[in-house]
A = this chain, B = another copy of it.
Amino acid sequence: MRVGLLGCGNVGAALAVLVDEQRDVVARRTGLSFEVASVAVRDLSVDRGVPLPAEVFTTDAAAVVSDPDIDVVVEVMGGIEPARTLIVAALGNGKPVVTANKELLAVHGAELYSIAESAGVDLLFEAAVAGAIPIMRPLRESFAGEPVTRVMGIVNGTTNFILTKMSGEGASYDDALAEAQGLGYAEADPTADVEGHDAGAKIAIIATLAFGTEVVADDVYLEGISGVTTDDIEAAAHLGYCIKLLAVADRRGDEIGVRVHPTLVPNDHPLAAVNDSFNAVFVEGDAVGEVMLYGRGAGGRPTASAVFGDLIDAAGNSARGHGAPIGSLERARISPIDDLETAYYLALDVDDEPGVLAGVAAVFGAHRVSIRSMEQAGQGGEARITFITHRARERDMQATLDDLGGLDAVRSVGSVLRALGG
């Protein structure tokens, strides 16, 4: 099996090494022998540190995807273009494609799945979401007959690292971010991670597979973690929760809700134990109950492992003369965030004087938002009250917040975070 590799950064280089190391084992177990036969890169002068002869490198990516000697194409260059054009060309030439490109799939996934089906070849992308964790294959195959109701993921390692540091060491958001940048976990411009864009792209891909209907990145409601404070984390801990950036997709009737936001997770929930830069995806279904898949969400070697698994699968299917396509998908009906029903955490800074709580409670009650627990910290002139509500509608909660902001005794409405359970 002659592999054409588009891109040779961390993942591509790690894949070339892995293919070389595992060649004999894989040949013995699958009957397929893999050879990285062509590698498209932008700059031929960079030493990639891979066990490949210089002559396999080329700057002509279009030639790789049209080369009749190439049996299967791996795209690890990232970005929308030229990746999209190259993948379409490869599929059109009857070559199965393995990609790790979440940006592309979160926008053009359904189009590409449909092209792959028409071409009768595989388009596999386990590595695009949560790196080494097998999640795409279980969603496509293991849960093909499962009435999946909700999928929740910690799918961004950078933000999970930051929140773990803030929680475990009491670090401020800024200090934790700086540490993540120092370790290379966060970019100099961390926006894509900390504002939830990266997680949003991933949950769009997950939702598409889990519910068999097209969900794109723009469908996803996004809130990042830059507003989460150490006060919030301490208050949440006091109430028995940790705070995680969750990407959530759920089925509400014939609509799909998709969102990314910081979330209070009960300490006894399996997602609460997912720390540092680890990722996990938690699947709930009527029959299967609860399943969680946990592992490394990024890194060259772990991601290359997922790519290699797909490569073996695609090559095997190709040798047997067919793919296992996702097929054509209808566009999902997206449930607006206003229709969300969840529990909420809310921090209010108030004047500590008689009657304040009664006034606050009246506002909650007027909007049918029911309080499950409250705690007051501080005394004297100024106090902070934290609330956990029972499940309420997002639109009712937002109306509650508007009215609370208008109360004289409320100095400020602090963080408002959604909470699991309730």
Contacts and interface: CB of A to CB of B under 8 A. Distances in A.
A137 B147 contact: no
A353 to B, nearest CB: 43
Interface in A154-171: none
Counted per complex, copies of this chain come to 2
Interface residues on A, range: 35 or more
Contact of A288 (B132, B141, B146): B132
Interface of A: 14, 18-19, 21-22, 25-26, 28-31, 126, 132-134, 137-138, 141-147, 212, 270, 273, 285-296, 299, 301-302, 304-306, 308-309, 311-313, 316, 320-322, 324, 327
Given A137-B142, A138-B138, A289 B299 contact: yes
Given A26-B144, A273-B273, A289 B313 contact: no
A143 B212 contact: no
Given A18-B145, A273-B273, A288 B305 contact: yes
Residue among A132, A146, A147, A304 with the most chain B CB within 10 A? A146
Contacts of A285: 305
15 contacts: A14-B287, A19-B145, A25-B212, A26-B144, A29-B327, A134-B137, A138-B138, A141-B309, A145-B305, A146-B305, A287-B302, A288-B305, A288-B306, A292-B294, A292-B295
A138 B137 contact: yes
Contacts of A14: 287
A96 B126 CA distance: 26
Contacts of A294: 270, 291-294
A299 B288 CA distance: 9
A144 B134 CA distance: 12
A142 B293 contact: no
B134 A138 contact: yes
A146 B289 contact: no
Given A145-B311, A288-B305, A293-B294, 4 more contacts: A14-B287, A21-B147, A25-B212, A143-B305
A145 B312 contact: yes
A58 B88 CA distance: 51
